[in-house]
Amino acid sequence: MLSNPARAHNGKDRARRPQPGRSQTMRSDRTSTLTSALTLTFVLLLALSPILSACGPRPAPTATPTGLPPTSVPPSATPPIKALPTDTPVPTPTRPALPPVVVGITPDRGEEQVLAAPVTITFDQAMDPASTSSAFSIEPKVPGEVKVTGNQLIFSPTERLQRGAEYRVTLASTAASAAGQKLQAPISFKFATAGFLQVTNSSPAANSKDVPVDSPITVAFNRPVVALMGVTDQAKLPQPLIITPTVVGQGEWLNTSIYRFTPRAGLAASTLYTVTAPAGLTDTTGGILAEPYTLTFRTTVPTVLSWSHRPLAAWGPPPNLLRIPIEDPITATFSMPMDRASTEAAFSLVDAQKNAVPGVFTWNAEATTLGFKPTRLLGFRTNYTATVAASARPANGQGALRSASSHAFRTVALPGVLRTQPVNNARQVDTDDAVLIYFAGPINPDTLAGSYTILPKPARVYTYYNEYESIF
């Protein structure tokens, strides 16, 4: 029998095609195998992680103090301690000796040397006494002793140096240090000794004129003449001035080099004074005023400073010279005390016709202000002239008034009304305006009350009197 080809073919296909149950079994086995492999890998990683960590980079260990191991640890557990290498001793380098250097000199630059004081040179290191002493010299030559101790050379003159002289000190380069090093170059310097005592300034200045009579006399020296002392010790100090003509007063030292003389009653007027500081005056260093110092000055002459029409002790604004009260006194103030007799004789008060006005004189305590009070009332609206002639002399001294001084004035007019404001019959006057009455001369304000009327009568009236301008 012939077999069916289609069936035969289908049989082969069935033979090749896996069976459904077998395929599922194989897939399950693969999944189980993969899971086992992953689990094994994870376990291996956990087991190897300490080893891997040990093989990676480590943080630097923190240094901790080490001590003796605990006695409980067996000796075999302590690692052997290696001996540290010892430092090889290194010899300290020896500083090479350097040449000496001058670091100080006395007297210092610009300082005056006291005549008996030593000269000192200071080095930066100890010096060899023999070579350093022999290297020292001074010009002009001065006998003295050179002594080198440590790092200092001291030259002590056995004779006083010359006053106001200049000296040069030289130290040759042969001067050597204690280590044998010589100066790199010679040293040279100059100094000057204290000079003579001199007057450097005065007040008044020499040849001054018109010096006020109340001026003190002051001189200033270039050097201290006295030591610092208390005020109570002034009497023990020298009085260096001779004043001609003689002046009574008090002298005092303001400091060690400035002297002031204050006249007790002032200097004489118009007088030539000569002030002398005699030669031989010495300062604190022994300096001598080699020549006398002389100054001359002339004091001023008296002058009239001002005129007034008030009593001597009164105060107030200056008067109107065209409205002087007929009973007011006249005063003249001078630049210095005046001789009363000659000044009163030099005074006059006359009217326009040159008629003299009699009166009495008064003076202040200092004799610098003269008052004149007429013994009769002056005329109304009259011109007068007061004069102090040049013959008036000062109270102390020579000469007389520099020049005559005159003072003109006019007395007040008789009482009367000059004008009013508003004027008579004025219209359209502002209701806020004041009513002013200008009088020809001073009015006694007490007599004004009740002497005027206002019609129609206002509710209230306020009044005021201007004494300086006589305005009501």
- Enumerate domains of the chain plus CATH numbers: 102-193 (2.60.40.1220), 199-299 (2.60.40.3710), 304-410 (2.60.40.1220), 415-472 (no CATH)
Please say if the pLDDT value at position 178 is more than 80: yes
pLDDT band at 258 (very low <50, low <70, confident <90, very high): very high
Distance from C-alpha of 397 to C-alpha of 411, rounded to nearest angstrom: 38
Mean pLDDT of 275-303: 91
Q: Please tell me the predicted confidence (pLDDT) of residue 284.
A: 85
Question: Is the CB of residue 269 less than 8 Å from the CB of residue 301?
Answer: yes
pTM greater than 0.75 (yes/no): no
Q: Please tell me the predicted confidence (pLDDT) of residue 406.
A: 94
Please say if the pLDDT value at position 340 is more than 90: yes
Q: What is the pLDDT of residues 204-248, one digit of tens each?
A: 999 999 999 999 999 999 989 988 876 667 777 888 999 999 999
Q: What is the pLDDT of residues 307-318, one digit of tens each?
A: 988 654 444 445
Mean pLDDT of 380-392: 94
Q: Please tell me the predicted confidence (pLDDT) of residue 313.
A: 43
Percent of the chain topping pLDDT 90: 48
Distance from C-alpha of 32 to C-alpha of 21, rounded to nearest angstrom: 17
How big is the CA angle at 224 (ends 221 and 226), to the nearest 5 degrees? 110
pLDDT band at 6 (very low <50, low <70, confident <90, very high): very low
The least confident of 38-47, 172-181, 456-465 is 38-47
Please say if the pLDDT value at position 70 is more than 60: no
Distance from C-alpha of 332 to C-alpha of 372, rounded to nearest angstrom: 9
DSSP codes of every residue in 298-362: EEPPP-EEEEESS-TT---SPP-TTSB-TT--EEEEESS-B-HHHHHHHEEEEETT--B--EEEE
Q: Please tell me the predicted confidence (pLDDT) of residue 12.
A: 40
Average pLDDT for the chain: 81
Q: Please tell me the predicted confidence (pLDDT) of residue 14.
A: 42
* Residue bearing the bigger pLDDT, 307 or 73: 307
Q: How far apart are the first and last CA of the chain?
A: 179
Please say if the pLDDT value at position 38 is more than 90: no
Q: Please tell me the predicted confidence (pLDDT) of residue 325.
A: 83
45 phi and psi angles, rounded to 5 deg = -65, -40
Please say if the pLDDT value at position 3 is more than 50: no
pLDDT band at 467 (very low <50, low <70, confident <90, very high): confident
Strands lying side by side in the sheet with 405-410: 347-351, 383-388, 405-410
293-299 vs 208-211, strand pairing mode: parallel
Q: Please tell me the predicted confidence (pLDDT) of residue 465.
A: 81
Please report the sign of the dihedral spanned by the C-alpha atoms of residue 24, residue 29, residue 35, residue 41. Answer: negative
Q: Please tell me the predicted confidence (pLDDT) of residue 16.
A: 43
Q: What is the pLDDT of residues 394-442, one digit of tens each?
A: 998 778 898 999 999 988 888 878 888 888 888 888 877 888 888 877 7
Mean pLDDT of 148-155: 94
Helix and strand element counts for the chain (H, E): 4, 25
Please say if the pLDDT value at position 290 is more than 50: yes
